[in-house]
């Protein structure tokens, strides 16, 4: 039997939910197993700082954890780098500090008050002082993709007819469109988040673990043994089978 690999969906500052899911993994005999976090550690939820701390320190302490980049993680690093608050992949009227995107909650977790229409210079200056350099380094150096023998992990998904090694960051952290509707074949199941659904979904070529923690729904995690998938619950594993 293949070695179990665990994956955790989009966290979005929900530190209590992250602790709960990590306990589910331990209760599944997953202590010491590989765990892949699918990005979007910040925004919307109340404790982005705490989530980044937990992941960063766990990896530094030698846990077998891999954290990949999400689009919301890039929002934070871009703002700190050069005050960017807009991404062309979003609607033109949605800026990072808009409550719908949740950058205001991320900065508040670091003690910085950031109203959507307030001048950026003082917010940026306060954020540079409040966000530890270690957090900036951690988020800025996240990989965009992680591959194992049977699985590919990416925050949003992959572009059809593009080799895995040629996928670009904007697609890996933002893609939707035909990625969600047309079968893709990369030789492995792609495990992703980014597009919120009511409960984890298996579509054969992809598994979506974003079940809406960014909208205050329960964070979800799954365990993969080869290409067999199960969702973790307090009552044990639930098989996650391809939709027909």
| Segment 114-128, tens digit of pLDDT | 987 889 999 999 999
Q: Are residues 17 and 80 in the same domain?
A: no
**Last residue in a domain, options 108, 143, 178:** 143
User: pLDDT at residue 201 above 90?
Assistant: yes
Q: Is residue 52 part of a domain?
A: no
The 10s digit of each residue's pLDDT in 41-77 is 999 999 999 999 999 999 999 999 999 999 999 999 9
Domain that holds residue 21: 13-34+148-154+218-244
User: pLDDT at residue 37 above 70?
Assistant: yes
User: What does the pLDDT read at residue 92?
Assistant: 86
Q: Is residue 43 part of a domain?
A: no
Q: Are residues 81 and 127 in the same domain?
A: yes
Share of residues in the chain with pLDDT > 70 (%): 99
User: What does the pLDDT read at residue 104?
Assistant: 97
**Last residue in a domain, options 78, 110, 143:** 143
Burial 216-243 (b: 16+ CB within 10 A, else e): ebebbbbbbeeeebbbbeeeeeeebeee
Q: Is residue 183 part of a domain?
A: no
**Last residue in a domain, options 143, 162, 184:** 143
Number of structural domains (the chain) is 2
In this prediction, residue 1 has a pLDDT band, given cuts at 50, 70 and 90, of low
- Is the overall model pTM greater than 0.75, yes or no? yes
């Amino acid at each position: 039997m293949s070695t179990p690999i665990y994956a955790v969906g989009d966290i979005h500052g929900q530190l209590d939910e992250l602790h709960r899911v990590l306990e589910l993994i331990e209760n599944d005999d997953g202590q010491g197993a590989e765990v892949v976090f699918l990005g979007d550690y910040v925004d919307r939820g109340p404790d982005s700082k705490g989530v980044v701390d937990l992941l960063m320190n766990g990896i530094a302490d030698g846990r077998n954890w891999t954290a990949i980049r999400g689009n919301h993680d890039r929002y934070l690093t871009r703002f700190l780098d050069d005050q960017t608050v807009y991404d062309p992949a979003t609607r033109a009227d949605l800026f990072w500090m808009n409550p719908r995107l949740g950058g205001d909650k991320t900065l508040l977790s670091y003690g910085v008050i950031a109203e959507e229409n307030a001048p950026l210079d003082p917010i940026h200056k306060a954020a540079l002082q409040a966000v530890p350099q270690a957090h900036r380094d951690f988020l800025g150096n996240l990989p965009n993709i992680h591959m194992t023998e049977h699985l590919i992990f990416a925050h949003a998904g992959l572009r059809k007819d593009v080799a895995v090694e040629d996928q670009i960051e904007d697609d890996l952290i933002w893609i939707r469109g035909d990625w969600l509707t047309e079968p893709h074949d990369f030789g492995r199941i792609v495990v992703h988040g980014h597009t919120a659904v009511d409960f984890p979904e298996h579509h054969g070529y992809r598994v979506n673990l974003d079940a809406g923690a960014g909208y205050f729904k329960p964070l979800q995690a799954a365990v993969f043994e080869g290409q067999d998938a199960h969702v973790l619950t307090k009552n044990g594993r639930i098989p996650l089978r391809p939709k027909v």
